[in-house]
C-alpha cells in the first residue's frame, strides 16, 4: 500500500479541528475521515488538541488577527505539532513544507503564502516566540482560562499535577472477567505474545502500550473488557456487602456503553435493567452484553422520567453514572476541554440533582444508590452530594472514594481519595436509604 502523504493527513487534521471549533465532538468528526487516513489523523488531532492553547498563543504572536477559519485551523495544527522540538512528530522543515502543500490543495489556498510566512518566521524566532507565550497560562497548561482558575480554587495543592496529567496519553486498561479467568492468567497470556501488562486494582491490567482489542487474547470470548481503572470501581463499590442470597434487582441508569452493566453481572447473578435515553447507545449496551454471554433488560428511556418506564417495583441497588462535563477523562478525550464552557457545569449539576431526586424514590428501604461522574469539579461531586443529603434525611453516605483525581504521580497517603495510579478523574458517593 502506498504511503499516505503527510499533507493529506494535515489537511484532514485541520478539518477535524475546524469542526471541533464549531462545536462538534472529536468522535463524529474523526468518524467522517476516510478509513485509511483515520488512525494517523486521530493521532495528529489528539496531539494538536493537547497543544492547542500554545498554538493559538503563538499564532497571536505571528498575526495581528486570525486568518479565515480553515486557514487558522491548518496554521494552528502546524504550530501545535512543531512548537516543542523534543515532542514534534515530524522534522520542522518537512512539516512546514507539507502544511503549505495542504493549504494549496484545500480551502486555505488563498492563505498559503501567509501560512508559509508565519511558519518560517516561527522557525527563525522559535525561542523568543515561545518565551513570549510562556506568560499566558492557557499556553502553558493548554486548558481554557476558566478551567485553570477553577482547579486552582478547588484543588489548590494539586491543580498543576491534574493539568499535567490531562495532557498525557491515557493508558489502555483491561478489566478481567473473574467468573471466567484471573488477572494473573491473562497477564501470563499477554506476556507470551510480548504484550506487557501490570496489575491494577482487584481485576485490572494496564497495558504498557495500547493494542487493538482484536489482538488481545480473551476479548472476543468475554474474558476481558476495556475499562479505566477508576471506572472499574463502580460495580464492586455498589455491591460490596449486599445480601446476594436472592437475586438482586438492579438499575443501571444512563448505562451506555454498558461496561458497568456487564461488570455488575460478572460479579453477581442479578435482575439488571440497563437504561439509556439514546437508542444507538442502547444497541452498544446490547452488543457488550452479547459478547459476554450475559442478559439484562435494555430500555430506551429517560432516567429523569421514571413514570414513563418504571413498573413500580423498588430496586435493591441503583447505579447512577450521571451525565457530566467529562472533565475527568480529558486524557482520552482532549477535545472536551475546548468544547466545554464554564456555564455547562451549573447546567449539568441541575440535571444531576434532578436525576438523584427522581431515582431516589425507586430505591427500596435499606437499598443503595451509587452516584458517580467522570468529573473533577466539585459542583458535580462533593457539593452535589452534600446538597442531596441536606434535603433527604432518609439517606446516609456510606464509605466512598469521593473525588479520584486524574493522576500520574506516585501514591500519596496524605490524599486519601487517590488509591490507584494513572486513573481517570472520577467521583463516587454511595448512598444508603434508611430502613423503615
Averaged pLDDT, groups of 10, the chain, 436 residues long: 87 98 96 94 97 98 94 98 93 96 96 97 97 97 98 95 94 92 93 92 90 88 91 95 91 95 94 96 94 94 97 97 97 97 98 98 97 97 98 96 77 44 89 89
- Alpha carbon of residue 52 to chain centroid: 18
pLDDT at 412: 47
Class of domain 231-433: alpha beta
**Calpha distance 333→280 (Å, rounded):** 20
399's CB contacts (< 8 A; 6+ apart) are 430
Sequence length of the chain is: 436
CATH topology (fold) of 173-226:
Alpha-Beta Plaits (3.30.70)
d(CA 157, CA 159): 6
CA distance 141 to 164: 7
Q: What is the DSSP letter of 225?
A: E
Q: Which fold has domain 6-141?
A: N-utilizing Substance Protein B Homolog; Chain A (1.10.940)
Q: Where in the chain is the domain with CATH 1.10.940.10?
A: 6-141
Are the beta carbons of 429 and 352 closer than 8 angstroms?
no
| Cell output for 42 | 486521530
Residue carrying the nine cell digits 501514591: 411
Query: In angstroms, rounded to a whole number, what is the distance separating the alpha carbons of residues 75 and 103?
Result: 9
Residue 286 in 3-state DSSP?
helix
Longest CA–CA span in the chain (Å) reads 76
Every domain range in the chain assigned CATH 3.30.70.1170: 173-226
DSSP SS3 for 330: coil
- Nearest alpha carbon to residue 119 among 65, 68, 77, 70: 77
Residues labelled catalytic: 374
Of 174, 226, 166, nearest to 46 (Cα)?
Answer: 166
Distance of CA 160 to the CA centre of its chain: 19
Residue 300 host element (H or E): strand 297-300
Instruction: Determine the Cα–Cα distance for residues 298 and 301; give it in Å rounded to an integer.
Output: 9
Question: With contact defined as beta carbons under 8 Å apart, do 380 and 373 qualify?
Answer: yes
Burial class (CB in 10 A: 0-12, 13-18, 19+), 121: middle
Burial of 348 (0-12, 13-18, 19+ CB in 10 A): buried
CA–CA distance, 250 with 266 (Å, rounded to integer): 13
**According to CATH, where is 3.40.50.150 located in the chain?**
231-433
User: How many other CB atoms are found less than 10 A from the CB of residue 69?
Assistant: 15
C-beta neighbour count of 394 within 10 angstroms? 14
Q: Are 253 and 303 in contact (CB under 8 A)?
A: yes
Amino acid at each position: 500500500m502506498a504511503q499516505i502523504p503527510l499533507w493529506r493527513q494535515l489537511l484532514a487534521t485541520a478539518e477535524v479541528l475546524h469542526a471541533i471549533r464549531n462545536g462538534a465532538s472529536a468522535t463524529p468528526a474523526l468518524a467522517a475521515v476516510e478509513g485509511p487516513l483515520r488512525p494517523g489523523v486521530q493521532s495528529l488531532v489528539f496531539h494538536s488538541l493537547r497543544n492547542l492553547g500554545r498554538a493559538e498563543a503563538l499564532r497571536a504572536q505571528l498575526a495581528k488577527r486570525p486568518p479565515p477559519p480553515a486557514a487558522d485551523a491548518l496554521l494552528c495544527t502546524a504550530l501545535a505539532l512543531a512548537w516543542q522540538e523534543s515532542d514534534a512528530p515530524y522534522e520542522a522543515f518537512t512539516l512546514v513544507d507539507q502544511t503549505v502543500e495542504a493549504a494549496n490543495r484545500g480551502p486555505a489556498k488563498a492563505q498559503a503564502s501567509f501560512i508559509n510566512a508565519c511558519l518560517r518566521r516561527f522557525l527563525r524566532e522559535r525561542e523568543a516566540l515561545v518565551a513570549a507565550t510562556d506568560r499566558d497560562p492557557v499556553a502553558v497548561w493548554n486548558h481554557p482560562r476558566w478551567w485553570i482558575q477553577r482547579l486552582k480554587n478547588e484543588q489548590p495543592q494539586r491543580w498543576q499535577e491534574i493539568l499535567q496529567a490531562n495532557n498525557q496519553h491515557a493508558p489502555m486498561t483491561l478489566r478481567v472477567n473473574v467468573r471466567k479467568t484471573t488477572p494473573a492468567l491473562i497477564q501470563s497470556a499477554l506476556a507470551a505474545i510480548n504484550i506487557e501488562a501490570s496489575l491494577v486494582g482487584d481485576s485490572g491490567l494496564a497495558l504498557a502500550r495500547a493494542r487493538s482489542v482484536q489482538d488481545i487474547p480473551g476479548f472476543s470470548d468475554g474474558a476481558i473488557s476495556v475499562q479505566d481503572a477508576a471506572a472499574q470501581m463502580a460495580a464492586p463499590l455498589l455491591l460490596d456487602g449486599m445480601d446476594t442470597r436472592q437475586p438482586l434487582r438492579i438499575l443501571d441508569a444512563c448505562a451506555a456503553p454498558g461496561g458497568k452493566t456487564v461488570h455488575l453481572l460478572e460479579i453477581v447473578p442479578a435482575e439488571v435493567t440497563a437504561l439509556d435515553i439514546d437508542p444507538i447507545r442502547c444497541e452498544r449496551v446490547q452488543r457488550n452484553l452479547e459478547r459476554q454471554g450475559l442478559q439484562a433488560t435494555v430500555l430506551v428511556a429517560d432516567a429523569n422520567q421514571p413514570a414513563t418506564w418504571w413498573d413500580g417495583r423498588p430496586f435493591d441497588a441503583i447505579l447512577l453514572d450521571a451525565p457530566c462535563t467529562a472533565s475527568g477523562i480529558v486524557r482520552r478525550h482532549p477535545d472536551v476541554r475546548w468544547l466545554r464552557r464554564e456555564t455547562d457545569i451549573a447546567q449539568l449539576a441541575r440535571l444531576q440533582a434532578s436525576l438523584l431526586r427522581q431515582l431516589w424514590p425507586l430505591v427500596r428501604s435499606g437499598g443503595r444508590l451509587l452516584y458517580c461522574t467522570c468529573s473533577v469539579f466539585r459542583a458535580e461531586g462533593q457539593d452535589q452530594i452534600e446538597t442531596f443529603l441536606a434535603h433527604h434525611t432518609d439517606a446516609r453516605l456510606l464509605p466512598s472514594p469521593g473525588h479520584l483525581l486524574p493522576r500520574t504521580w506516585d501514591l500519596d497517603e496524605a490524599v486519601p481519595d487517590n488509591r490507584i495510579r494513572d486513573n481517570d478523574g472520577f467521583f463516587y458517593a454511595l448512598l444508603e436509604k434508611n430502613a423503615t
